[in-house]
Amino acid sequence: MKNVKKNFSLIINNEQRDYYIMLLPFILWYLIFMYKPMYGLLIAFQDYSLFKGIEGSTWIGLQNFHDFLVSPYFYTVLKNTVVLNLWSLSIEFPFAIIFALMLNEVRGKYYRSFVQTVAFLPYFISIVVAAGILINILSPSTGVVNIILEKLGHDRVYFLSKAELFRPIFTSLSMWKTTGFNAIIYIAALTSIDPHLYEAAKIDGAGRFAQLFYITIPSIIPTIIVMLVLKIGAMLNVAFETVLLLYQPATYSTADVISTYVYRTGMLTQNFGLSTAVGMFNGIIGCLLIYFANKAAKKISETSLW
């Protein structure tokens, strides 16, 4: 046993030392920016005062959580958060898979690379710029969409002030920005499929659709399950910046989500204790969701995160 420990120590010291040194900055970054701020979660249990600090603020236990749960905003922000994520889960999530499958069927190497690059580029566009482009396109006075509607004999529409239109607008912008990036994961999974499987299928007389349904899709099911579990775990997390840039008081009924409520409560009304409690509530529910989603995935299939 001593020899094993000695040999293991030598391996780490000689062969893996450089790797640990390279990893050290990332470990320090995580400790400083991810774990150290967890001390601030104490604010959720306090009547926090910015001038007194954490140590001088009054301890009030679970009062902030109670205030959020009985707040008239609780049901609205929770419903909007879940519904927006369900829109993403039912439209945006499968669209990336379909796009990857369609791109995989393209045989022209240069054309496929061009399409993949064009689809991937929006991911690098700042959300502020992307939202600005969308706002200008949908502008009731100078927007291209309203100009076309007017030419066709219809009245101009202020799209971003319509509460019922916020969800499709938000989902469309999110799809445009993230589809190319999300598809890369599935494209990488598709490239790992053994080409001999397709050759054997062709010999057996299987067509393109048969190969798709019996080889391609089953081969990437583990990747899809892992991504689905992660997506479900983030059900209460919505793209905060996108919502903040697109919503307005007229669309609060369908656009106000937990993250924007935290922002307004903490930054605008200076109720840091309540905003921290809401953020902590969001994180706890997210952990529970990803735990049960992973458990369900493990029970249904052999693929899971742990």
The share of the chain scoring above pLDDT 70, in percent, equals 95
* Statement: residue 168 has pLDDT above 90: yes
Give domain limits for the chain. 1-61, 71-300
| Helix (H), strand (E), coil (C) string for the chain | CHHHHHHHHHHHHHCCHHHHHHHHHHHHHHHHHHHHHHHHHHHHHEECCCCCHHHHCEECCCHHHHHHHCCCHHHHHHHHHHHHHHHHHHHHHHHHHHHHHHHHHCCCHHHHHHHHHHHHHHHHCCHHHHHHHHHHHCCCCCCHHHHHHHHCCCCCCCHHHCHHHHHHHHHHHHHHHHHHHHHHHHHHHHHCCCHHHHHHHHHCCCCHHHHHHHHHHHHHHHHHHHHHHHHHHCCCCCCHHHHHHHCCHHHHHHHCCHHHHHHHHHHHCCCHHHHHHHHHHHHHHHHHHHHHHHHHHHHHCCCCCC
Q: What is the pLDDT of residues 218-258, one digit of tens each?
A: 889 988 988 888 888 888 888 888 998 998 888 988 999 98
pLDDT band at 136 (very low <50, low <70, confident <90, very high): very high
Q: What is the pLDDT of residues 178-217, one digit of tens each?
A: 998 889 889 988 988 888 888 888 888 888 888 888 888 9
71-300: in CATH 1.10.3720.10: yes
Mean pLDDT, the chain, whole residue set: 86
Q: What is the pLDDT of residues 5-64, one digit of tens each?
A: 555 555 555 567 777 888 889 889 989 988 888 888 899 999 988 888 888 888 998 999
